[in-house]
Structures are given as C-alpha cells and as structure tokens.
Amino acid sequence: MKSRALRVPRSEGERARQRLRDARALRGDLKILEEGEWIFLPLTDEASVAPEEGTLLERDFALAADRGPQDYRDLLTTWSVEDREALPRSYDVIGEIVLLRLPTSLAPRGREVGEALLRFVPGARLVGADFGVHGPERRREVLRLAGSGPWRTRHRENGLEFEVDLERAYFSPRLAREHARVAAEVDVGNRVYDLCCGVGPFALTIAHVAQPARVVAVDSNPWAIELLRLTAARYAFGGRVEPLKVEVERFLDGAERVDRVILNLPHEGIKYLPSVGNAVSTGGRLFFYEVTDRAEEGSRPASLVERLGGSAAWRLRERHVVHPYSPAADLVAYTFERSSG
Ligand SMILES: C[S@@+](CC[C@H](N)C(=O)[O-])C[C@H]1O[C@@H](n2cnc3c(N)ncnc32)[C@H](O)[C@@H]1O
C-alpha cells in the first residue's frame, strides 16, 4: 500500500521511529521498510516533519499482519498503568546494548524493565540503566539490568562501525547528525584537529567522507584513543587519522594552525577557547559545542567571539540546538570562521 514516508539513514532509524511514534506521526498499520543503508517510516496523514529530519517521499509498504506490542512498556503486563507511564518511552541503542534512564522509584524493578527491553528491541544483548556521564573523561555510569556480556560493542553510524566501550570511554548515539554535518564542511586536503575526540566519531567520519590531508585526534583518555585506533585499523582511510593521547592544553601549546578544528567538551571547553582559536588558520572554521542556558542563547555568540579574540577576526557562521540538555539549557553547536589575524 502506498504511503507518505520519511527516509532516514539506518543509524538513525530507531531514534526517528521513537520520535515519530511519540508525535503520533508513525503509521502502525504498515511495516517499516529497510533497504540497504536506509529505513523508510510510513507517516500518518497529519504528520508534519521538519526537512532536517530526513527525506520525505512516497513508498509502497506491506501491511503489518501482526503488529505486536508497539512499546516495550506494553510487555510489563502485570504493572499498573501509573508505573508503566513513569518509565521513559525512549531509550538509546548502541550496537547491541540498550540504555535507558530508569527513575529511582522503579530501580527495584529494573530487572523486569531490562527483560522487557531485551525482548522488545531486535538484536539486543544487554540492557543497562544509564546514570549519565561523569568526570573529566565523561565516562558513562551504567548498571546492568538484564542480558549478558561486556559493555564493549560495535556501533554503526553514518556507514561506519565504531568500537565502543560504554564504561571506559565517552560515546553518544545522539550526535550522529553532528558527526556527518561537520564532516560535510571539510574540504579536500584540509588539515583538521579533533580535540577531545573520544572514540573518534568526528575524526573517522571526516576521514571517511572528505579527503582531508590529515586529522589529528586528541584525547586524554587512553581507552578512547585505543578504541579509536582499533576502529581506524579496520578502514583504509583510517591512515589519515593520527590518534594522540594527550591533554588538549599540552597539545595546543605550539600546535600549527589548521583549516578545521572541532572542540566537543560542552561543559569545560570554554576555558580552552582562546588557545583553540589560535589553532585555526585564516579562512578556517571552529566547530564548538557548549551547554548554553536558554536565557543566554541570543547573546552567547557575541561573547564567544570576544573570547576567541574579537569580531575583527572572528564571525559566527551558524548555530543550532543539537538537543535539549536540561529544562533551562540546550546543547548548542556553534560554527565560527576566522576572517583574519
Ligand atoms: C563529550 S566527550 C566528546 C567525545 C567525542 N568528540 C564525541 O563526539 O563522541 C569529551 C571528551 O573529552 C576528553 N577530555 C576531557 N578533558 C580533556 C583534556 N583536558 N584533554 C584532552 N581530552 C579531554 C574526554 O576524555 C572525552 O573523551
């Protein structure tokens, strides 16, 4: 049967499905279609979808013969409606690991929640409670709810498979679009620094889709650098990436200027801003991520430009919210360009 549909990359399929379902924009009577790297999600007539969410088109879909449960919480049949609704609808899928923010009040029933997700998410091996990232290395605190095996997995994103260890090095499946967006802004032959690179999703995506001369990827966490090396070793283009286990402040001391610099350290990055700016060549760009208070979002670009060295040398090219961070703040992506100096 023909239906309006949203086409998204496979790596974003689960997130898009959850988003559309929550907005009641996903048709439940038709089967989601998978084709190579793409997922096609059938849309309801009322669905309104922003252009940046994917490509809108028409496709033929098969009827969903047995729809089964549409929500993992439907599998918790002995639970009260109240308890079920206290659980988050959404969860993250990283490789074959599922992570969910479990409310403290339901912690004693974590195993049941884990078992439900294990049954509900195709290919899931391990389900964990996610207590967020902490410390200078932004390591994730996780607690096994159900399933087995290590926190080590391979996660597919933007056509690449990354080595990930959820306990030992930062990784978020929510930044896939950012990794692709920044990579699309790198020109052939560019020299790039990926500062605070984690397991290397910016650096490796850039090496994959652009043809940079070199990407130097810097992180202080030895596990992150080791995982990056392992991913890079599996791809021919991995040779363009040079992983360095070093503090960003030490690396920047005397670093030559390059065409593109990425700094994704949203709480602490601000303290490195002047020296990070010095590492950008004239005409070059800085991709900077920050958790910004919503009340300050209008004035923030000007104060960041000041911090970089002033508006004679720097201008804001683009800025957008990546996702809400808290009730009063967003994770914001800023692209600055150096015009002189
Ligand atoms: C938010 S994570 C970003 C990871 C990666 N860019 C990504 O998008 O997945 C921040 C990273 O900065 C690293 N880091 C924190 N302070 C650092 C420092 N002073 N020097 C080098 N790396 C640092 C952490 O180890 C962590 O991997």
Residue nearest to atom 11 of ligand 1 (CA): 196
Measured in Å, residue 48 CA sits from the centre of ligand 1 at: 36
Gap between the terminal Cα atoms of the chain: 60
Nearest Cα to Cα of residue 150 among 165, 160, 131: 165
Ligand 1: residues within 6 Å at CB?
A: 136-138, 170-172, 175, 196-198, 201-202, 218-221, 224, 247-248, 264-265
d(CA 4, CA 40): 10
Q: What is the b/e burial string over 23-41, where b = at least 16 CB atoms within 10 angstroms of the residue's CB?
A: eebbbeebebbeeeeebbb
Give pTM, 2 decimals.
0.84
Q: Is residue 5 within 8 Å of 54, Cβ to Cβ? A: no
For the sheet with 241-245, list strands across it: 241-245, 214-219, 191-195, 258-264, 280-293, 329-338, 314-326
Q: Is residue 308 within 8 Å of 277, Cβ to Cβ? A: yes
Q: Domains of the chain, with CATH numbers?
A: 2-60 (3.30.70.2580), 72-149 (3.30.300.110), 170-338 (3.40.50.150)
Measured in Å, residue 257 CA sits from the centre of ligand 1 at: 20
Helix 201-209 / helix 222-233 crossing angle, nearest 10 deg = 20
- List helix spans (H) across 175-221: 176-184, 201-209
pLDDT given at position 298: 92
Q: What is the CB-side half-sphere exposure of residue 84 using CA atoms within 13 A?
A: 13
Q: Which ligand 1 atom minimizes the distance to the CA of 224?
A: 27
Residue nearest to atom 4 of ligand 1 (CA): 198
Residue nearest to atom 1 of ligand 1 (CA): 265
Residue by residue, pLDDT tens for the chain (341 residues) are 899 999 998 888 888 888 888 788 899 888 899 898 899 999 998 888 887 888 999 999 988 876 678 899 999 999 999 999 999 999 999 999 999 999 999 999 999 999 999 999 989 999 999 999 999 999 999 999 999 999 999 999 999 999 999 999 999 999 999 999 999 999 999 999 999 999 999 999 999 999 999 999 999 999 999 999 999 999 999 999 999 999 999 999 989 999 999 999 999 999 999 999 999 999 999 999 999 999 999 999 999 999 999 999 999 999 999 999 999 999 999 999 999 87
Residue nearest to atom 22 of ligand 1 (CA): 219
